[in-house]
Structure 1
Amino acid sequence: MTFRTLARLAPLLGLVVAMPAAAQDDGGARGAASITEADVARRIGIIAHDSMGGRSTPSRGLDLTASWIAAEFARLGLKPGGDSGRFEQRYPLTRIAVDTARSGATLVGSGKKVMLPASRDLFYASGPRSDRWIEGPVVLMAAPTVETSASAPVEGKVIVVVGAVRSPGGSIVRALQPALDRKPAAVLIVSTLDSATFARQVANQVAERVSLGAGPNTPLIVMVRESAVAGVLQAAGVSVSAMRQVASPVTRDLPVTVSVRVQDRPGAGQDAPNVVGILPGSDPVLRNEYVVFSAHMDHVGTDATAGADTIFNGADDDASGTAGIVELAEAFAQPGARPRRSLIFLTVSGEERGLWGSDYFTSHPPVPTEQMVANFNIDMIGRNWKDTIVAIGKEHSDLGSTLNTVNGAHPELGMTAIDDPWPQENFYMRSDHYHFARRGVPVLFFFNGTHADYHEPGDSPDRIDSEKEARILRLVYWLGREVGNRDVRPQWNEAMRKKVTGR
């Protein structure tokens, strides 16, 4: 008789099978049984209904979704973890348009001076906008990586970025993140765009748009035209064309100073919701540590040019994960199901805009991030493979081996949990777990990949495999029980921790 057969027959035969402690008690089984295919389908149908209007950030449909989730958390008896005793945590947004006549930059060094008007040679990317000129000496970073960013001497300096990014996924800002966390004055990125595309970006910045309110330590980031800065950098001993070809990262101070300013014509202030529910743990000591379950409740809204169906319902992306968070909260709220550690159930918004909500939550958490022992993030788990779930980040900590152990103890789920099969897509940095990871919280990202309906009107509730999703959620539930009950917290692979956090 195989172990899997024995595990299936054990309840009938009165046998005790060696499996994680969290898998054996009646309370745990009661919680798992509460996660059903019918519940998953019903909740996805509510979140991805046409009346929610595609849940863009910000929108009335997003607020309706947040209110529904908050009501579910209240019904389940969770404690509010948001603002002023509420489940919702609101974060600030601004409607802005750059005032190009009062924005720009000046570079001075080695006998040369160049002025970059925002009407021609510069466009705003992110960060604070004000009437104050930001000044500082230049530190050059060519072909930066997370590792070189972590050691670059940047505090109070203006980072000038040149060349290709050699980090997975090729994101400049994410490769620079460790440096951005150490208070540079500003960042100028020498653009690789062709002249026509750059000109369109310059023109577009005067149109009103929604932006995340900049945090207190967020630097101003602008893109600058290569031809406008090549001369002053050449005089300082830097060939832009050569820096684009370097075989390994280059970081060095330059005898150049920069003054830069971006002012805007501000519109009305707005905000957007996260929803936070907390289930206190059963152990008087371990209840001060937290396991976080997260998913994003926003999507991309509507598009009048899309054809007959103009609503992007986002059933898989990510009503599937959002419904999953409510299902998990309901499971852990069952009698006897709560683990020794406390649990945080989190739905964020702004993911489609650039991980806004998770960035704000991890910067303004209800408990210190040092007390968060793990984050299980769920995004797009309702389609594709029938019996497989991708668990991105398995190799980064012992959460991967814990997941394998828990999955082996529950053959009735029929799930295979695999490593990231698409490392070239850099999904690790593209969903909300990333902001937990870069702040030192071990993570696993449960994800079943994109498909032809990704960010299309066809991502509708009728195409969700609710039976499969229910099994995935039961796996995440059992994993949460195991991590929530263990004496010791999950441990990073130290090399990966340094790579992700930059410290």
Structure 2
Amino acid sequence: MKFTNLIAVAGLAVLASCSSNSKKETATATDTALAADIKQHIAVLANDSLLGRKPFTVGEEKTIAYIAAQFKKLGLEPGNKGSYYQDVPMVEIKSTAADMQLTGKTAMTIKPGVDFVASTRREVPAINLKNSPLVFAGYGIVAPEYKWNDYAGLDVKGKTVVVLVNDPGFQAPEKFFKGDTMTYYGRWTYKYEEAARQGAAGVLIVHQTEPASYGWQVIQNSFSGSKLYLQQADKHMNRCQVEGWISEDVAKKLLAGAGITEDMRAYARKKNFKAVPLNSEVSLALTTKLKYAMSHNVVATLKGTTTPNEYVLYSAHWDHFGINKPVGNDSIYNGAVDNASGVAAILAIAKKFVAAKEKPKRSIVFLSVTAEEQGLLGSEYYGTHPIYPLNKTVADLNLDALSDFGETTDFSITGKGQNDLDDYVLELTKPMGWTVVGDTKPSSGSYYRSDHFNFAKVGVPAIDLHNGATAVGHDEAWGKAKLKEYNEKRYHQPSDSYTSDMNTMGMAQTADLMFKMGVKLSNETTFPSWKAGSEFKAIRDKAMRK
């Protein structure tokens, strides 16, 4: 999960004018035992001994063993035919790039990890992209419903396309697509997929901080080193030879060589836009190391008392980046917030369900998935290989990257307005006087950036809930500054580490709301639905007719 959608949270500062006594009462409304449990689990999951929790490493073995042991200690049943594990077959590909050579109108040598990052999904020993003509393909989108086709009349076989991140709606002076709300067409994953469908030899996404919603250092950290993919029968030969990113400075030089000196986003939004040859070629050699192995989702179940064949599912990803590029003196990416916090929360929620006097009527499933940071792979695998029937899965309640600066009086629902689960949050928060907002930075595409998306794709109503920015005892500006600091200085960096002064009270707030939602959902006989206009409604409606 990515914090950028929370940075601009503008929840009403309900307590700003209240007395200090009122603030104290609100602060102590949170379950302090829940906060303590969460903190204790984060201390273990974000410890250096787990080596950054990267799949396929000793860190994975220690992480999943800890989670399974906690499930067993609570008395939860193994969730997968007597096992706490679901095997997820993946391939690890470590791509090592040489310098990229640009020839022709724009001739220069650019450095991997500095000016570009590049890798391949193809399961081959080496890639040698040689003298591939570069073409600027705008946003790299084919969207019939928006009457948009950047590849119209373009043959890209053997060529490398240069495309922009996000979609035409971002900060556009007139309405394109969904305006500042990013569609899936704006995601980098889509750019790679579409370039492959078009038959391109390579695809390079232009990094720009605002439309990407993260800085170049995130690209350098997140897209370097080994990468994991779900195994495919064709060994990913259907993908481009090279997938990568280039810096904005490099892109500007390339486009200038083709006479494009104006704002590249505005240029690509023109109604008469056609892909532009950049009068340059790219050559890039990649060598790869391949490793085939099983990673694992961890799953446990609390059996329902009256309708055990209907399921309320909690999800959180356990993985992070392992040992990677050093920053200062630290090279272990512990991911305390992202996402030891989410796993800690579902373990604490599980404890509350077990301790409750009244047991749930429907079954509760606790699912900790692998390889979210590699492209939501563990949840994707579960979505295509469900342990429990999807049309009997009531909802997915996802917990990812919970704020570590204490309680707030506002909350943010990623993709608010998509399904009925929003109404459950509103019902629980209204008596407290808490504000609930949607994506206040919808251009970041947060709805497509955590595991709830893979449940939505298969029709299961899913929600991703977070604390906002109006922290108890502080003004909204303070909370925004905390979120900004995390996004710029800790997100996907070694500094996302556990400290003893970490404030988990806000995490407990969110976890408690999710627990209460689960209790309500587990004792109902109805199923929440997608709201009219959601792209996931038809999938669910069809599944529920079976």
Normalising by the residue count of structure 2, what TM-score does the alignment of the two structures yield?
Answer: 0.62
1:312 positional shift: 4.0
Gaps of 5+ in 2: 1-29, 99-111, 128-135, 171-179, 209-219, 276-284, 469-482
Q: What's the counterpart of residue 324 of structure 1?
A: 345
Deviations 1:2-61 (A, max 9, x none): xxxxxxxxxxxxxxxxxxxxxxxxxxxxxx979633322222222122322332344322
Gaps of 5+ in 1: 1-31, 101-119, 133-139, 195-203, 254-261
Correspondence 1:378 to 2:399: yes
Q: How does 1:133-144 map to 2 (within 5 A)?
A: 142-143=138-139
Q: Distance in 1 between matches of 2:53 and 2:349?
A: 22
Q: Distance in 2 between matches of 1:380 and 1:79?
A: 26
Asked if 2 retains the 8 angstrom alpha-carbon contact of 1:392 and 1:445, the reply is yes
Task: Read off the aligned partner of 1:442 and give its amino acid letter.
Answer: P
Q: How does 1:341-490 map to 2 (within 5 A)?
A: 341-384=362-405, 386-388=407-409, 389-408=411-430, 411=432, 416-448=435-467, 450-453=483-486, 454=490, 455-457=493-495, 459-490=497-528
Q: Residues 175 and 152 (structure 1 numbering): CA distance in 2 closer, same or farther, change over 3 Å?
A: farther
Q: What's the counterpart of residue 35 of structure 2?
A: 37
Q: Residues 34 and 141 (structure 1 numbering): CA distance in 2 closer, same or farther, change over 3 Å?
A: same
Q: Residues 387 and 161 (structure 1 numbering): CA distance in 2 closer, same or farther, change over 3 Å?
A: same
Q: What's the counterpart of residue 274 of structure 1?
A: 297
Task: Read off the aligned partner of 2:313 and give its amino acid letter.
Answer: V
Q: Distance in 2 between matches of 1:301 and 1:59?
A: 8
- Identity over aligned residues, as a percent? 25
Asked if 1 retains the 8 angstrom alpha-carbon contact of 2:48 and 2:334, the reply is yes
Secondary structure of the residue aligned to 1:326 is helix
Q: How does 1:11-160 map to 2 (within 5 A)?
A: 36-82=34-80, 85-97=83-95, 125-129=119-123, 142-143=138-139, 148=144
Aligned length: 443
1:499 positional shift: 10
Q: Distance in 1 between matches of 2:327 and 2:117?
A: 29
Task: Read off the aligned partner of 1:397 and give its amino acid letter.
Answer: N
Q: Residues 330 and 183 (structure 1 numbering): CA distance in 2 closer, same or farther, change over 3 Å?
A: farther
1:68 positional shift: 0.7
Q: Distance in 2 between matches of 1:190 and 1:179?
A: 9
Q: Distance in 2 between matches of 1:303 and 1:182?
A: 29
Asked if 1 retains the 8 angstrom alpha-carbon contact of 2:324 and 2:332, the reply is yes
Task: Read off the aligned partner of 1:377 and give its amino acid letter.
Answer: N
Q: How does 1:203-222 map to 2 (within 5 A)?
A: 209-216=225-232, 219-220=239-240, 222=243
Q: Residues 370 and 219 (structure 1 numbering): CA distance in 2 closer, same or farther, change over 3 Å?
A: farther
1:291 positional shift: 2.2
2:187 is aligned, of 152, 157, 174, to: 174
Q: Distance in 2 between matches of 1:242 and 1:310?
A: 37
Task: Read off the aligned partner of 2:85 and give its amino acid letter.
Answer: F
Secondary structure of the residue aligned to 2:507 is helix
| Structure ranking higher in helix proportion | 1
Q: Residues 226 and 446 (structure 1 numbering): CA distance in 2 closer, same or farther, change over 3 Å?
A: closer
1:398 positional shift: 1.6
Task: Read off the aligned partner of 2:462 and give its amino acid letter.
Answer: V
Asked if 1 retains the 8 angstrom alpha-carbon contact of 2:457 and 2:536, the reply is no
1:94 positional shift: 2.0
Secondary structure of the residue aligned to 1:95 is strand
Q: Distance in 2 between matches of 1:161 and 1:310?
A: 32
1:76 positional shift: 2.4
The alignment yields a C-alpha RMSD, in angstroms, of 5.5
Asked if 2 retains the 8 angstrom alpha-carbon contact of 1:95 and 1:208, the reply is no
1:382 positional shift: 4.1
Q: Residues 472 and 353 (structure 1 numbering): CA distance in 2 closer, same or farther, change over 3 Å?
A: same
Task: Read off the aligned partner of 1:47 and give its amino acid letter.
Answer: L
1:252 positional shift: 10
Normalising by the residue count of structure 1, what TM-score does the alignment of the two structures yield?
Answer: 0.67
Q: Residues 179 and 42 (structure 1 numbering): CA distance in 2 closer, same or farther, change over 3 Å?
A: closer
Q: Residues 185 and 82 (structure 1 numbering): CA distance in 2 closer, same or farther, change over 3 Å?
A: farther
Q: What's the counterpart of residue 327 of structure 2?
A: 306
Task: Read off the aligned partner of 1:345 and give its amino acid letter.
Answer: F
Secondary structure of the residue aligned to 1:268 is strand
Deviations 1:135-180 (A, max 9, x none): xxxxx975356854899999xx979775564176878673774995
Task: Read off the aligned partner of 1:53 and give its amino acid letter.
Answer: L
Q: How does 1:238-249 map to 2 (within 5 A)?
A: 245-247=267-269
Asked if 1 retains the 8 angstrom alpha-carbon contact of 2:406 and 2:505, the reply is no
